[in-house]
Amino acid sequence: MFGNDFFLTTLAPFSGNLHLRIFFLPTLAFILMFFYIVKKLQTISDLKKKNQLLNNSLERVDQEAKLILESDMDIRLCQLEVENVKISAIRKLLFATSSLLDKEALFSQIDSNLIENLGFRNCLLLNFSDLSKLKQIGFQPQEVDLIKNVLLPKKQLFKEKRLLSSQKSETCKIISSKLKIKNILIAPVKSGNTVHCLFIVGKLTEAGVVTVSMKEALMIVCLHLAKCLDNINLFEQAYRTRDELENKIKIRTNELVLSLQKVEAVSKTKSDFISSVSHELRTPLTSVKGFSSLLASEKFGKLPEKAKDRLDKVVKNVDKLMDIVNTLLDISRIESGKIDMNIVPHNIVLTIKNIADFFEPQSQEKKIPISVDTPPQLFVFMDKDLIERVLTNLLNNALKFTPAEGKIKISCQSKGEKAIISITDTGYGISEENLNKIFQEFYRVKEIEKKAIKGSGLGLSLVKKIIEGHGEKIWAESKVGKGTTFFFTLTKKKNG
Ligand code: ADP
């Protein structure tokens, strides 16, 4: 500030006088120092003020930064809040609709509340299969046609893309103006390759922002709607199928009832016919048998040898005929419930042994031993006479259809509440196909007939009627060439 020139100029007047120089120079130096110090102090005070101002500004900046941070936090909170609103709207929708089985009820849940909570305004669920509803909400017929013509061919597009947004196309402009929305978003409600409908939403103004999370939320809603629609379709299909099935079952049941009634009527006619024919036959047969036996006994005089022979054959055949007629009568009586069964506890083991003894002579004659495998005793509910007829018939068959030197075994086992009685032979056996038929009246296996084994085909039919009359079961197992086993059940007496 004070350069060399200044000092030289200022000291110049005193250069000649030493006293003056001694006095004046320090004073001058002091004054100069004083000014210098004052100047410096002023600078320091200026600097301090500036520093203060700087500090103040810094503080303000700091405050503002804090404010910015706080508002940023608030914005984030608001965003979270908005997300939460979306999430809870979706959750509410899931709760309300997951178990719905009605389309109307499902679509009624897509209300303005939900749409607003998702961040949109107004929506349209466009059902491809029923565009007529558009007319109900104010679309002109030609607009509906346009939507149909433009959107339907694009169906494939919806199958491929998840979300479409467009405002340019004519269709979107129509939808835009009708729904009073901008920035249209079109989301397909689809499962697999099936597009159920289109979910169209938008914002109030073109400035309205559609965020990624809004799109995500829309897609979640669409996915859920598709699942619900799948369930509803499945349910409707199952319901329809059940209805159809029920109808079919009703029709079939009616048909069956009618057939059964017809079968029962035919069966009754047949039984009545057999019963009356047998009755009618029995009287003359009894008289034929009486007279022929009387003649054969030669009480009315000796008969020529040949005549006697023929008469004996007549008596035998009349006996057979009587047998058939009696069996037929028994069958029809059991069928019509005319026989009173006397079902009381009996020791079946004793009955089996008695029948086996009865067949002993035939068994020895044919060299077919009959073995018996039973517990010491077993009491069952049965009509003794009728079960004896069952055992006699089955044993008779076993002896008839087993070649000499075979074996027969009668067993009786206790199984739960039942006694299972079986007669096993090592005879010709019965083919699978014939096993179902042998219990029918007059049915005889052809191969057996070829072997010229005599019979009427009525024995098993009677046996079956007797066992079923007891409320029990009878069945047969067999292998051709190996043998046959007939089984039937009887109910055990408790503690028997
Ligand atoms: P029938 O013995 O008078 O012919 P059934 O009603 O007793 O009449 O038997 C019907 C048919 O069942 C017989 O003709 C025979 O073909 C077959 N059948 C019955 N029992 C046996 C058996 N133990 N082994 C092989 N075939 C049998």
Residue 455 and residue 458: Cα distance in Å, rounded?
8
Task: Give residue 445 CA to ligand 1 midpoint distance, Å.
Answer: 7
| CB contact set of 372 (below 8 Å; sequence gap of 6+) | 352, 353, 356, 409, 410, 411
Ligand 1 pocket: which of 444, 450, 462 to mutate (most atoms within 8 A of CB): 444
Q: Which residue minimizes the CA distance to atom 3 of ligand 1? A: 455
Closest ligand 1 atom to residue 423 Cα is: 23
- pTM, to two decimals: 0.54
Ligand 1 pocket: which of 392, 397, 408 to mutate (most atoms within 8 A of CB): 397
Task: Give residue 271 CA to ligand 1 midpoint distance, Å.
Answer: 22
Residue pLDDT tens, the chain, 496 long:
444 454 444 555 545 566 666 778 888 889 999 999 999 999 999 999 999 999 999 999 999 999 999 999 988 888 888 889 999 999 999 999 988 989 889 989 999 899 999 988 888 888 777 777 777 777 778 777 777 777 666 666 665 555 666 556 777 777 788 778 888 888 888 888 788 888 888 888 877 888 888 888 998 999 999 999 999 999 999 999 999 999 999 999 999 999 999 998 888 888 788 878 888 888 888 889 898 888 888 888 888 889 899 999 999 999 988 888 888 888 888 887 778 889 999 999 999 999 999 999 999 999 999 999 999 999 999 999 999 999 999 999 999 999 999 999 999 999 999 999 999 999 999 999 999 899 998 899 887 767 778 888 999 999 999 999 999 999 999 999 999 999 999 999 987 5
Task: Give residue 347 CA to ligand 1 midpoint distance, Å.
Answer: 27
Residue 305 and residue 311: Cα distance in Å, rounded?
10
Task: Give residue 335 CA to ligand 1 midpoint distance, Å.
Answer: 21
pLDDT of residue 329: 85
**Overall size of the chain counted in residues:** 496
Residue 459 and residue 464: Cα distance in Å, rounded?
9
Task: Give residue 484 CA to ligand 1 midpoint distance, Å.
Answer: 10
Closest ligand 1 atom to residue 402 Cα is: 24
In this structure, are residues 473 and 390 in contact, taking their beta carbons and an 8 Å threshold?
Answer: no
Task: Give residue 183 CA to ligand 1 midpoint distance, Å.
Answer: 90
Distances (CA, A) of 79 to 82, 88, 94: 5, 14, 23
pLDDT of residue 18: 66
Pocket (CB within 6 angstroms of ligand 1) = 397-398, 401, 425, 427-428, 430, 438, 443-445, 448, 455-461, 484
What is the separation of C-alpha 21 from the centre of its chain, rounded to a whole number of angstroms? 128
Residue 354 and residue 360: Cα distance in Å, rounded?
10
Q: Which residue minimizes the CA distance to atom 8 of ligand 1? A: 457
* 44, containing H or E segment: helix 18-97
Site of tokens 């076993």: 398
Q: Which residue minimizes the CA distance to atom 21 of ligand 1? A: 397
Residue 196 and residue 180: Cα distance in Å, rounded?
24
Distances (CA, A) of 402 to 182, 388, 431, 453: 97, 21, 15, 11
Task: Give residue 456 CA to ligand 1 midpoint distance, Å.
Answer: 9
Task: Give residue 421 CA to ligand 1 midpoint distance, Å.
Answer: 18
Q: Which of 329, 126, 83 is nearest to 212 (CA)?
A: 83
In this structure, are residues 379 and 412 in contact, taking their beta carbons and an 8 Å threshold?
Answer: no
Residue 41 and residue 45: Cα distance in Å, rounded?
6
* 484, containing H or E segment: strand 483-491
Residue 459 and residue 445: Cα distance in Å, rounded?
13
Ligand 1 pocket: which of 396, 430, 474, 482 to mutate (most atoms within 8 A of CB): 430
pLDDT of residue 439: 94
pLDDT of residue 454: 82
